Chains A and B, each alone.
Chain A
Amino acid sequence: MDMAVAISELMTQHHQECDGYFASAENAVAQGKWDEAAALFDQFENALILHLRREEDILFPAFETETGQTGGPTQMMRMEHEQMKALTQNLKSACAARDKDGYLGNSETLLVLMQQHNMKEEQILYPMMDRALDANADTLVSEVTSLD
Chain B
Amino acid sequence: MAEHEYLLDVSQLEPPEPLQKALSALDELQAGQYIRLLHRRNPELLYPLLEKRGYAFHTFRTKEPAFEVLIWKKTDQEADTRCQALIKQAWDIKKKKAEAKDTPKLSFEQAPPISIPFRFFLMAPVFGFVAAMVLLFAGPESMDSRWTPEAVSAVHFMVLGFSTMTMIGAMMQILPVVIGTIIPKSRLVSNIVFGLYVPGVVFLGSAFLFRKDILFNSAATFLGLAFSVFIVVVLHTMFTSGVRTSASRAIKLAVISLAVTVAMGVVMVAIFGAHGGVAKHLFATIHLGWGLVGWTGLLIIGVSFQVVPMFQITPQYPIWIRQWLPISLVYLLVLWSLVTYFHQYLDGKNMIYYLSGLLILLLTGLYSINTLILQKQRRRKIPDVTVSFWQLAMVSAILGIVLTAVNIISPETGEYYLLELVIGIVVISGVMQSVINGMLYKIMPFLVWFHLQAKQTTPGVLPNMKEIIRGRRMWIQYWLHLGSITGLAGTVFYPELLFYPAVTLFAASMLLLWANMMTAVWTYQKTVQR
Contact = CB atoms under 8 A, between A and B. Distances in A.
Interface of A: 19-20, 22-24, 26-27, 30, 67-68, 72-73, 76-77, 83, 90, 101-102, 104-106, 108-109, 111-113, 115-116, 118-120, 123-125, 128
B282 interface: no
Which of under 10, 10 to 19, 20 to 34, or 35 or more describes the interface residues of B? 20 to 34
A43 B310 CA distance: 20
B200 interface: no
Contact of B106 (A22, A111, A125): A125
Most interface-central of B106, B108, B248, B382 (chain A CB within 10 A): B108
A109 B446 contact: yes
Contacts of A105: 464-467
A113 B177 contact: no
A112 B243 contact: no
Contact of B104 (A67, A115, A124): A124
B108 A72 contact: yes
B243 A124 contact: yes
Nearest to A106: B464
Nearest to A131: B102
B523 to A, nearest CB: 13
Contacts of B465: 105, 108-109, 112
Given A19-B313, A109-B464, A120 B177 contact: yes
Interface majority SS on B: helix, strand, loop or mixed? Answer: helix
Nearest to B95: A68
Contact of A20 (B107, B108, B313, B442): B313
B148 to A, nearest CB: 42
B519 to A, nearest CB: 14
A20 B450 contact: no
A22 B381 CA distance: 11
B323 to A, nearest CB: 15
For A23, A76, A108, which residue has the most chain B Cβ atoms within 10 angstroms? A108
Chain A's interface: helix, strand, loop or mixed, by majority?
Answer: helix
Nearest to A74: B108
Contacts of B382: 26-27, 30, 104
Interface in B88-126: 95, 102, 104, 106-108, 110
A113 B450 contact: yes
5 contacts: A72-B106, A73-B180, A118-B310, A123-B248, A124-B106
B328 interface: no
A109 B106 contact: no
Interface in B466-489: 466-467
B311 interface: yes
User: Which has the most chain B C-beta neighbours within 10 Å: A19, A68, A77?
Assistant: A19
Interface of B: 95, 102, 104, 106-108, 110, 176-180, 243, 245, 247-248, 306, 310-311, 313, 379-382, 442, 445-446, 449-450, 453, 464-467
A101 to B, nearest CB: 7
Contacts of A83: 453
Given A108-B465, A109-B464, A120-B180, A115 B311 contact: yes
B467 to A, nearest CB: 6
A119 B306 contact: yes
A24 B102 CA distance: 40
Nearest to B242: A124
A67 B108 CA distance: 16
A108 B466 contact: yes
Contact of A123 (B243, B453, B464): B243
A73 B108 contact: yes
- 5 closest A-B pairs by beta carbon, nearest first, are A105-B464, A105-B466, A23-B379, A76-B108, A124-B180
B446 A26 contact: no
A72 B453 CA distance: 20
A123 B245 contact: yes
A67 B102 contact: yes
* Residue among A20, A101, A115, A123 facing the most chain B CB atoms (10 A cut-off): A123
A19 B180 CA distance: 22
Nearest to B110: A76
